[in-house]
Amino acid sequence: MDAKVETNAAAGDGKPVLPPGHDPYHHLHDEAYAAPFSEARVGWRDLISVAGRRLESLDGTWNFVLDLHDEGLRQRWFEDAPDPIGGWTTPRDYDDGAWQTTTVPSCWNVMRPEWTYFEGGAWYTREVTVAPGRAGERVFLRVGAANYEARVFLNGVFIGSHRGGSTPFFIELTGHLAAGANRLQINVDNRRRPERVPMNHTDWFNYGGLYREVGLLRVPAVFIRDFGVALVPGSQGRRIAIDVTLSEPTSGTARLRIDGLAEEIAIPVAAGVGRITFDAAPELWSPARPKLYPVRLTFGEDEVADAVGFREIRVEGQRILLNGEDIFLRGICVHEDDRDLGKVSTEADIRRRFADAKALNANFLRLSHYPHHELAARIADEVGLLLWEEVPVYWAIDFANPDTFADADNQLREMIRRDRNRASIVIWGVGNENADTDARLAFMSGLAASCREMDPTRLVSAACLINREHFRVEDRLSEALDVIGLNEYFGWYEPSFDGLKRLFANSDLDKPLVITETGADAVAGREGRPGELFGETHQSDLYERQLDLVESAPYVRGFCPWILYDFRTERRQTAYQRGWNLKGLIAADKTTRKKAFTTLSERYSELAQQQTPAGA
Ligand code: GCB
């Protein structure tokens, strides 16, 4: 038990006495202990563009302990001085000097076999020494992602919290920093809860931890918080819009330079915001020619730099047009999951993902079911792949709960803010397989509206379900979408393909449809007879049948099956699966290709030949 005591010299005997009113047993009976640590919550408005900025890395070794009972919050561990145990006058229940260490970024589930299924709180502690900077400089902590809720403490004081397991957050440290060593503690809680996003039921593994990079960012007193550079929709690639948001409601002039396009463009800024459009004729970005332009933006003492591609994506009737040309999305879904690293994505892993997608002759990836590492879209920009990014509004979200909406909306806006300058991203996904209820319609239409408000340059979609009552593509949400995503598992969960024929025959769409999932489990190396479940033959045959049918429906403008690699999911426990979803075209070793990989790559090669140059 913790007794926060002070030595009261006046007491005369040198023994510690309790401060007035302090009850050392209080925390045993206080079930509202967590409430203060959900305050000071940061969100999408607090994000800062890191484009071209140098982050001082805090990755590497941290002290680490699991905290199943939230004792650290109940007993306020963070307030205790980090004295060695031998010098204590009252007992404590923690001793960060005695903990094991871990490496950030990482997931605790893959650190020790006995922690594989741990869901709860954990503490990360390290010293941070911040060298003095220029006068007026501000220092922010940036966490790339922490699943799911994070609370940050500096020098014994709670300074901010964040929820949402796959988007970055910033907390300002200026004013809390001491000269010399500072003690930084981050409490991360990955408990699944029915009212969170995702909720407690998902078909992927709930990894916990500080699993993306952590660093410090120094910026001047007034800095560029956010900026966007994109083609003006409908301008035929002839006009560019730039918008800038400063950290303060200051006025002045921001200056933009785009090498090879614009020498120096002045952007008047009033009350912290500015927006202009100007004529330009950039070479357009496409998967075939992923042209990027170096962009530099300055305001006062601050500068950001990026490499940006210009392209236009829109729908016209049942078609998807990239730079005005019809495109068929030859896709594949992918999770962030690694047998050894869990949810940690390294640059090498992302590049392998994209190299495998290119080997499939794909031009599109659905980054499911949550925002992936930001590097993914940067690399897709560079190598020429189109992306769908989505938020984990998955299955039975608590759609009637306004706080759940606030959480989902914040995650969506954080994703858009983080990635809106990436040409590769063409679709924002607002959900996956949610039942068509009134509450869900209001919730997800609200998310679609947020997408349009934040970013008028991209398409909005969601992976919908088949309407089984009318057996057709019919979902009230489609009104709010540009592209209808459809998950269907004919040939797997529903053995016959007749349903797919019926579905296509019954459906009459005025928008493009993308098959956002289909597939079958197959144990790598287990050939199986035709029709035999969990065999590679059946998986490969399913791809052939699906593509035959899909290609016959004119409004199907993309095929994005499930999934590139086998991935961990504890809800699958047959003799074949044992905690893994085996619908990958490649096994969990990320090397062994199943037969269906070749099948799809051949079919995509044929489709690519029919494609206009932009989508090739
Ligand atoms: C789905 C889900 C996806 C699952 C997949 C499956 O419809 O969207 O998250 O993993 O099916 O394998 O059943």
Domains 6-219 and 224-311 belong to one CATH topology:
no
How buried is 349 (Cβ within 10 angstroms: 0-12 exposed, 13-18 middle, 19+ buried)? middle
Residue 580 CA to ligand 1 center (angstroms) comes to 12
- Cα radius of gyration (the chain): 26
Give the residue-averaged pLDDT of 249-256.
Answer: 98
Q: Specify the pLDDT at position 3.
A: 38
Instruction: Evaluate: CB of 517 within 6 angstroms of ligand 1.
Output: yes
Nearest CA to ligand 1 atom 9: 203
Helices 595-609 and 536-550 meet at what angle, rounded to 10?
Answer: 20
| pLDDT tens digits, one per residue of 566-588 | 999 999 999 999 999 999 999 99
Write down the domain spans for the chain.
Answer: 6-219, 224-311, 325-615
pLDDT exceeds cutoff 80 at 12: no
β-pairing, 459-464 vs 425-432, is parallel
- Note whether 282 and 310 are within 8 A (CB): yes
How buried is 266 (Cβ within 10 angstroms: 0-12 exposed, 13-18 middle, 19+ buried)? exposed
Q: Specify the pLDDT at position 552.
A: 85
Q: Specify the pLDDT at position 300.
A: 98
Which residues contact residue 412 at a Cβ distance below 8 angstroms, ignoring those fewer than 6 apart?
391, 428, 430, 447, 450, 451
Per-residue pLDDT band at 327 (split at 50, 70, 90):
very high
Instruction: Evaluate: CB of 434 within 6 angstroms of ligand 1.
Output: no
Give the residue-averaged pLDDT of 585-593.
Answer: 98
C-alpha pair distances (Å), 46 with each of 167, 294, 415: 12, 25, 13
pLDDT exceeds cutoff 50 at 5: no
Instruction: Evaluate: CB of 568 within 6 angstroms of ligand 1.
Output: no
Per-residue pLDDT band at 616 (split at 50, 70, 90):
low
Residue 544 CA to ligand 1 center (angstroms) comes to 20
Which residues contact residue 501 at a Cβ distance below 8 angstroms, ignoring those fewer than 6 apart?
549
- Note whether 229 and 420 are within 8 A (CB): no
pLDDT exceeds cutoff 50 at 10: no
Taking the C-alpha atoms of residue 86 and residue 435, their distance in angstroms, rounded to an integer, is 58
Instruction: Evaluate: CB of 212 within 6 angstroms of ligand 1.
Output: no
What number does the ligand 1 atom closest to the CA of 368 have? 9
- Note whether 109 and 207 are within 8 A (CB): yes
Nearest CA to ligand 1 atom 7: 487
Residue 203 CA to ligand 1 center (angstroms) comes to 6
C-alpha pair distances (Å), 181 with each of 40, 105, 126, 390: 24, 22, 10, 39
| pLDDT tens digits, one per residue of 17-72 | 556 567 878 889 999 999 999 889 999 999 999 999 999 999 999 999 999 999 99
Q: At 278, list the tokens.
A: 């100007």
Per-residue pLDDT band at 275 (split at 50, 70, 90):
very high
| pLDDT tens digits, one per residue of 357-401 | 999 999 999 999 999 999 999 999 999 999 999 999 999 999 999
- Which H or E element spans position 459? strand 459-464
Instruction: Evaluate: CB of 581 within 6 angstroms of ligand 1.
Output: yes
Taking the C-alpha atoms of residue 101 and residue 103, their distance in angstroms, rounded to an integer, is 7
Give the residue-averaged pLDDT of 85-94.
Answer: 89
Q: Specify the pLDDT at position 17.
A: 58
3-state helix, strand, coil in the chain (%, to 5): 20, 30, 45
Least confident of 87-101, 160-174, 532-546: 87-101
Q: Specify the pLDDT at position 468.
A: 87
Tell which one of 201, 464, 492, 562 to mutate to probe ligand 1, the residue whose CB is within 8 A of the most ligand atoms: 562
Distance of CA 305 to the CA centre of its chain: 22
**DSSP code for 114:** G
Q: Specify the pLDDT at position 21.
A: 64
How buried is 201 (Cβ within 10 angstroms: 0-12 exposed, 13-18 middle, 19+ buried)? exposed
339 residue type, one letter: R
Taking the C-alpha atoms of residue 605 and residue 598, their distance in angstroms, rounded to an integer, is 10
Give the residue-averaged pLDDT of 1-21.
Answer: 47
What number does the ligand 1 atom closest to the CA of 369 have? 9
pLDDT exceeds cutoff 80 at 164: yes
Topology annotation, domain 325-615:
TIM Barrel (3.20.20)
pLDDT exceeds cutoff 50 at 450: yes
Residue 55 CA to ligand 1 center (angstroms) comes to 37
Greater confidence, 84 or 597?
Answer: 597
DSSP per-residue codes, 38-91: GSSB--GGG----TTPPPEE--EEEEEEEETT-HHHHTTGGGS----GGG-SS-
Which CATH code fits 6-219? 2.60.120.260
Q: Specify the pLDDT at position 20.
A: 59
Q: Specify the pLDDT at position 81.
A: 86
Question: Which residue do the tokens 């962009």 mark?
Answer: 295
Q: Report angle CA 532, 536, 539 to the nearest 5 degrees.
A: 75
Give the residue-averaged pLDDT of 248-270.
Answer: 97
Give the residue-averaged pLDDT of 589-609.
Answer: 97
Taking the C-alpha atoms of residue 147 and residue 168, their distance in angstroms, rounded to an integer, is 10
Q: Specify the pLDDT at position 15.
A: 52
**DSSP code for 178:** P
Nearest CA to ligand 1 atom 4: 203
**DSSP code for 110:** G
Mean of the per-residue pLDDT values for the chain?
94
Topology annotation, domain 224-311:
Immunoglobulin-like (2.60.40)
- Note whether 514 and 331 are within 8 A (CB): yes
Question: Which residue do the tokens 């992302």 mark?
Answer: 350
Give the residue-averaged pLDDT of 523-527.
Answer: 98
Tell which one of 199, 201, 202, 203 to mutate to probe ligand 1, the residue whose CB is within 8 A of the most ligand atoms: 203
Least confident of 80-94, 155-169, 283-297, 423-437: 80-94
What number does the ligand 1 atom closest to the CA of 487 have? 7
Distance of CA 564 to the CA centre of its chain: 18
Distance of CA 293 to the CA centre of its chain: 25
